[in-house]
Amino acid sequence: MFDTQPSRDELLALIAPCKGLPGPLLVMLHAIQDRVGYVPASAIPVLAEELNLSRAEVQGVISFYHHFRDRPPAKRRIEICRAESCQALQGDRLTAHIEQRTRLRLGETSADGSMSLQPVYCLGLCSASPALMIDGTVHARVTPERFDELLSQMETRE
């Protein structure tokens, strides 16, 4: 992770290995977010120039995919699966419980940047729904009670 916004040269170095690959914009966006933690606004003109796209086209792709962030991630990231299988297996009830416990609505980040609550669409654990991810670790068959345990483990680690 970078402590400050990467420079143009650092961005160019990050995306250089992706040149010539199929679907280079997505690959480059992943490369930037993996290293920087998010896709800074300063990357948009660099990507547009390198791929001969308009800035609006690059911005459109970033906005389309929920995965890409345009600001540094929260310290604690909770991502709840909102796809079909998880919704069918008490996903709405779990989401409502998590919103109530975290005092965040789905899609929000706390004002101090300490926690975010984001939707994701399938974590590949449909047979063990409902599923969620906390700081990149997936959890399956999550009940409200299990979420409370995970939350208190998170608070203990802080």
In the complex, the residues that contact ligand FES under the rule CB under 6 A are 81, 83-86, 122-126, 129, 131
Q: Shortest distance, CB of residue 143 to ligand FES, whole angstroms?
A: 15
133 - beta bridge partners?
79, 138
Q: Shortest distance, CB of residue 12 to ligand FES, whole angstroms?
A: 36
Question: Could you tell me how far CA 130 lies from the centroid of its own chain?
Answer: 18
User: What is the Cβ-side half-sphere exposure of residue 12, based on CA atoms within 13 angstroms?
Assistant: 7
Q: Shortest distance, CB of residue 79 to ligand FES, whole angstroms?
A: 11
Q: Shortest distance, CB of residue 85 to ligand FES, whole angstroms?
A: 4
- Our CB check for ligand FES shows the closer of 138 and 151 to be 138
- Our CB check for ligand FES shows the closer of 49 and 65 to be 65
Q: What distance in Å separates the CA atoms of residue 75 and residue 54, rounded to the nearest whole number?
A: 32
- Our CB check for ligand FES shows the closer of 127 and 156 to be 127
User: What is the Cβ-side half-sphere exposure of residue 92, based on CA atoms within 13 angstroms?
Assistant: 3
- Our CB check for ligand FES shows the closer of 86 and 134 to be 86
Residues 6 or more apart in contact with residue 158 via CB below 8 angstroms: none
